[in-house]
Amino acid sequence: MFIYILFSLPALLLAIIAQIWVKSTYTKASNIGSYLGLTGAEVAKAILNQNAVRDVKVEITEGWLSDHYHPLEKALKLSPENYHGKSLAAIGVAAHEAGHALQHNKNYLPMYLRSALVPVTSFGSNFAYVIFILGLLLMKFVFIGKFLMIAGIVLFTLTFLFTLITLPVEFDASNRAISILREGRFLSEQELVPVKKVLTAAALTYVAAAAQALSLLLWAVTEYKRSDD
Protein backbone atom coordinates (compact mmCIF):
# COMPACT_ATOMS: atom_id res chain seq x y z
CA MET A 1 0.00 0.00 0.00
CA PHE A 2 2.87 2.39 0.81
CA ILE A 3 4.38 1.87 -2.66
CA TYR A 4 0.97 2.53 -4.27
CA ILE A 5 0.60 5.80 -2.35
CA LEU A 6 4.20 6.77 -3.17
CA PHE A 7 3.55 6.42 -6.91
CA SER A 8 -0.01 7.76 -7.03
CA LEU A 9 0.12 10.75 -4.65
CA PRO A 10 2.05 13.21 -6.91
CA ALA A 11 -0.23 12.46 -9.86
CA LEU A 12 -3.31 12.81 -7.64
CA LEU A 13 -2.13 16.20 -6.37
CA LEU A 14 -1.51 17.33 -9.95
CA ALA A 15 -5.04 16.24 -10.91
CA ILE A 16 -6.54 18.19 -7.99
CA ILE A 17 -4.54 21.31 -8.92
CA ALA A 18 -5.64 20.97 -12.55
CA GLN A 19 -9.31 20.69 -11.63
CA ILE A 20 -9.14 23.70 -9.32
CA TRP A 21 -7.37 25.73 -12.02
CA VAL A 22 -9.92 24.74 -14.69
CA LYS A 23 -12.83 25.72 -12.47
CA SER A 24 -11.20 29.03 -11.54
CA THR A 25 -10.20 30.12 -15.06
CA TYR A 26 -13.46 28.92 -16.60
CA THR A 27 -15.57 30.74 -13.99
CA LYS A 28 -13.67 33.99 -14.54
CA ALA A 29 -13.90 33.77 -18.33
CA SER A 30 -17.60 32.87 -18.05
CA ASN A 31 -18.25 36.30 -16.59
CA ILE A 32 -16.68 38.13 -19.54
CA GLY A 33 -18.75 38.62 -22.69
CA SER A 34 -17.25 38.96 -26.16
CA TYR A 35 -17.58 42.13 -28.18
CA LEU A 36 -19.24 40.28 -31.09
CA GLY A 37 -21.89 38.79 -28.82
CA LEU A 38 -21.90 35.39 -30.53
CA THR A 39 -22.84 32.18 -28.72
CA GLY A 40 -20.49 29.21 -28.52
CA ALA A 41 -22.70 27.31 -30.98
CA GLU A 42 -22.63 30.18 -33.46
CA VAL A 43 -18.83 30.41 -33.27
CA ALA A 44 -18.46 26.64 -33.74
CA LYS A 45 -20.74 26.69 -36.79
CA ALA A 46 -18.92 29.69 -38.25
CA ILE A 47 -15.52 27.98 -37.83
CA LEU A 48 -16.80 24.83 -39.53
CA ASN A 49 -18.30 26.84 -42.40
CA GLN A 50 -15.12 28.89 -42.87
CA ASN A 51 -13.16 25.64 -43.22
CA ALA A 52 -15.69 24.04 -45.58
CA VAL A 53 -16.64 21.33 -43.07
CA ARG A 54 -20.28 20.76 -43.97
CA ASP A 55 -20.96 17.31 -42.50
CA VAL A 56 -20.46 18.02 -38.80
CA LYS A 57 -23.47 18.80 -36.62
CA VAL A 58 -23.30 21.19 -33.67
CA GLU A 59 -25.52 19.85 -30.92
CA ILE A 60 -26.30 20.48 -27.28
CA THR A 61 -25.45 17.82 -24.68
CA GLU A 62 -26.24 17.56 -20.99
CA GLY A 63 -23.72 18.01 -18.17
CA TRP A 64 -21.33 20.68 -16.96
CA LEU A 65 -18.29 21.00 -19.23
CA SER A 66 -19.33 17.81 -21.03
CA ASP A 67 -18.23 19.34 -24.35
CA HIS A 68 -16.65 16.95 -26.84
CA TYR A 69 -16.36 16.05 -30.49
CA HIS A 70 -17.74 12.64 -31.50
CA PRO A 71 -15.89 11.46 -34.64
CA LEU A 72 -18.18 8.50 -35.35
CA GLU A 73 -21.32 10.65 -35.23
CA LYS A 74 -19.50 13.64 -36.76
CA ALA A 75 -21.10 15.75 -34.07
CA LEU A 76 -19.69 18.62 -32.06
CA LYS A 77 -21.49 18.47 -28.72
CA LEU A 78 -21.54 21.48 -26.42
CA SER A 79 -22.81 21.69 -22.86
CA PRO A 80 -25.77 24.08 -22.34
CA GLU A 81 -23.63 26.85 -20.84
CA ASN A 82 -21.27 26.77 -23.82
CA TYR A 83 -23.87 26.14 -26.51
CA HIS A 84 -26.02 29.12 -25.54
CA GLY A 85 -23.37 31.15 -23.69
CA LYS A 86 -21.82 34.29 -25.15
CA SER A 87 -18.88 34.42 -22.74
CA LEU A 88 -15.21 34.12 -23.60
CA ALA A 89 -15.21 30.74 -21.87
CA ALA A 90 -18.05 29.45 -24.06
CA ILE A 91 -16.38 30.70 -27.23
CA GLY A 92 -12.99 29.24 -26.25
CA VAL A 93 -14.41 25.80 -25.48
CA ALA A 94 -16.54 25.79 -28.66
CA ALA A 95 -13.52 26.75 -30.77
CA HIS A 96 -11.46 23.99 -29.13
CA GLU A 97 -14.07 21.36 -30.00
CA ALA A 98 -14.28 22.77 -33.53
CA GLY A 99 -10.52 22.25 -33.63
CA HIS A 100 -11.13 18.52 -33.09
CA ALA A 101 -13.60 18.50 -35.98
CA LEU A 102 -10.95 20.12 -38.18
CA GLN A 103 -8.42 17.49 -37.07
CA HIS A 104 -10.85 14.79 -38.17
CA ASN A 105 -11.44 16.54 -41.47
CA LYS A 106 -7.68 16.85 -42.08
CA ASN A 107 -7.01 13.21 -41.11
CA TYR A 108 -4.83 14.22 -38.16
CA LEU A 109 -2.95 10.99 -37.33
CA PRO A 110 -2.78 11.22 -33.49
CA MET A 111 -6.56 11.61 -33.41
CA TYR A 112 -7.02 8.39 -35.39
CA LEU A 113 -4.54 6.57 -33.15
CA ARG A 114 -6.42 7.71 -30.06
CA SER A 115 -9.76 6.60 -31.53
CA ALA A 116 -8.29 3.18 -32.33
CA LEU A 117 -7.27 2.74 -28.67
CA VAL A 118 -10.63 3.75 -27.22
CA PRO A 119 -12.24 0.24 -27.03
CA VAL A 120 -9.20 -1.36 -25.37
CA THR A 121 -8.62 1.61 -23.10
CA SER A 122 -12.24 1.64 -21.95
CA PHE A 123 -11.85 -1.97 -20.85
CA GLY A 124 -8.39 -1.38 -19.39
CA SER A 125 -9.33 1.65 -17.33
CA ASN A 126 -12.17 -0.30 -15.72
CA PHE A 127 -10.52 -3.68 -15.20
CA ALA A 128 -6.70 -3.33 -15.27
CA TYR A 129 -6.49 -2.62 -11.52
CA VAL A 130 -8.89 -5.47 -10.63
CA ILE A 131 -7.06 -7.97 -12.85
CA PHE A 132 -3.67 -6.98 -11.45
CA ILE A 133 -4.79 -7.15 -7.80
CA LEU A 134 -6.38 -10.53 -8.50
CA GLY A 135 -3.02 -11.66 -9.86
CA LEU A 136 -1.30 -10.50 -6.67
CA LEU A 137 -3.80 -12.39 -4.53
CA LEU A 138 -3.33 -15.56 -6.57
CA MET A 139 0.46 -15.57 -6.52
CA LYS A 140 0.44 -18.87 -4.63
CA PHE A 141 -0.74 -20.28 -7.96
CA VAL A 142 2.35 -18.93 -9.71
CA PHE A 143 1.30 -19.36 -13.33
CA ILE A 144 -2.20 -17.91 -12.90
CA GLY A 145 -0.96 -15.08 -10.69
CA LYS A 146 1.81 -14.02 -13.05
CA PHE A 147 -0.47 -14.30 -16.08
CA LEU A 148 -3.06 -11.98 -14.50
CA MET A 149 -0.40 -9.51 -13.34
CA ILE A 150 1.13 -9.35 -16.82
CA ALA A 151 -2.35 -8.90 -18.33
CA GLY A 152 -2.93 -6.03 -15.90
CA ILE A 153 0.40 -4.44 -16.83
CA VAL A 154 -0.47 -4.68 -20.55
CA LEU A 155 -3.80 -2.93 -19.91
CA PHE A 156 -2.09 -0.26 -17.76
CA THR A 157 0.40 0.27 -20.61
CA LEU A 158 -2.34 0.70 -23.22
CA THR A 159 -4.17 3.13 -20.95
CA PHE A 160 -0.99 5.15 -20.52
CA LEU A 161 -0.38 5.17 -24.29
CA PHE A 162 -3.93 6.45 -24.78
CA THR A 163 -3.37 9.34 -22.37
CA LEU A 164 -0.01 10.05 -24.00
CA ILE A 165 -1.47 10.20 -27.52
CA THR A 166 -4.28 12.39 -26.18
CA LEU A 167 -1.80 15.16 -25.31
CA PRO A 168 -0.86 16.22 -28.88
CA VAL A 169 -4.52 15.87 -29.90
CA GLU A 170 -5.67 18.28 -27.19
CA PHE A 171 -2.76 20.72 -27.51
CA ASP A 172 -3.20 20.87 -31.28
CA ALA A 173 -6.96 21.50 -30.96
CA SER A 174 -6.27 24.38 -28.56
CA ASN A 175 -3.62 25.85 -30.86
CA ARG A 176 -6.03 25.63 -33.79
CA ALA A 177 -8.72 27.31 -31.70
CA ILE A 178 -6.54 30.28 -30.72
CA SER A 179 -5.31 30.70 -34.30
CA ILE A 180 -8.83 30.58 -35.74
CA LEU A 181 -10.28 32.96 -33.16
CA ARG A 182 -7.48 35.42 -33.89
CA GLU A 183 -7.38 35.16 -37.68
CA GLY A 184 -11.17 35.01 -38.01
CA ARG A 185 -11.45 38.12 -35.83
CA PHE A 186 -13.87 36.39 -33.50
CA LEU A 187 -11.92 37.78 -30.54
CA SER A 188 -9.48 40.61 -29.97
CA GLU A 189 -5.99 40.01 -28.60
CA GLN A 190 -7.16 41.24 -25.21
CA GLU A 191 -10.08 38.79 -25.22
CA LEU A 192 -7.79 35.94 -26.20
CA VAL A 193 -5.84 36.21 -22.93
CA PRO A 194 -8.49 34.62 -20.65
CA VAL A 195 -9.37 32.11 -23.38
CA LYS A 196 -5.74 30.93 -23.48
CA LYS A 197 -5.82 30.53 -19.70
CA VAL A 198 -8.95 28.36 -19.89
CA LEU A 199 -7.51 26.14 -22.61
CA THR A 200 -4.14 25.87 -20.85
CA ALA A 201 -5.84 24.83 -17.61
CA ALA A 202 -7.92 22.27 -19.51
CA ALA A 203 -4.74 20.91 -21.12
CA LEU A 204 -3.23 20.38 -17.66
CA THR A 205 -6.05 17.97 -16.82
CA TYR A 206 -4.86 15.74 -19.68
CA VAL A 207 -1.28 15.98 -18.44
CA ALA A 208 -2.55 14.95 -15.00
CA ALA A 209 -4.42 12.00 -16.52
CA ALA A 210 -1.22 10.86 -18.26
CA ALA A 211 0.69 11.21 -14.99
CA GLN A 212 -1.92 9.13 -13.15
CA ALA A 213 -1.82 6.42 -15.83
CA LEU A 214 1.99 6.37 -15.67
CA SER A 215 1.98 6.15 -11.87
CA LEU A 216 -0.30 3.09 -11.99
CA LEU A 217 1.89 1.46 -14.62
CA LEU A 218 5.06 2.07 -12.60
CA TRP A 219 3.39 0.76 -9.45
CA ALA A 220 2.24 -2.40 -11.25
CA VAL A 221 5.70 -3.06 -12.72
CA THR A 222 7.31 -2.52 -9.30
CA GLU A 223 4.89 -4.92 -7.61
CA TYR A 224 5.45 -7.50 -10.33
CA LYS A 225 9.25 -7.31 -9.84
CA ARG A 226 8.82 -7.61 -6.06
CA SER A 227 6.69 -10.73 -6.53
CA ASP A 228 9.67 -12.36 -8.28
CA ASP A 229 12.00 -11.75 -5.33
Q: Which residues are catalytic?
A: 97
Buried b vs exposed e over 76-114: b needs ≥16 C-beta within 10 Å? Answer: bbbbebbbebbbbbbbbbbbbbbbbbbbbbeebebbeeb
Segment holding 69, helix H or strand E: strand 68-70
Strand pairing category for 57-60 and 75-78: parallel
What is the amino acid identity at position 79?
A: S
CB-based contact 199:205 (threshold 8 Å): no
CA dihedral 80, 66, 178, 185 (to 10 degrees): -10
d(CA 224, CA 162): 22
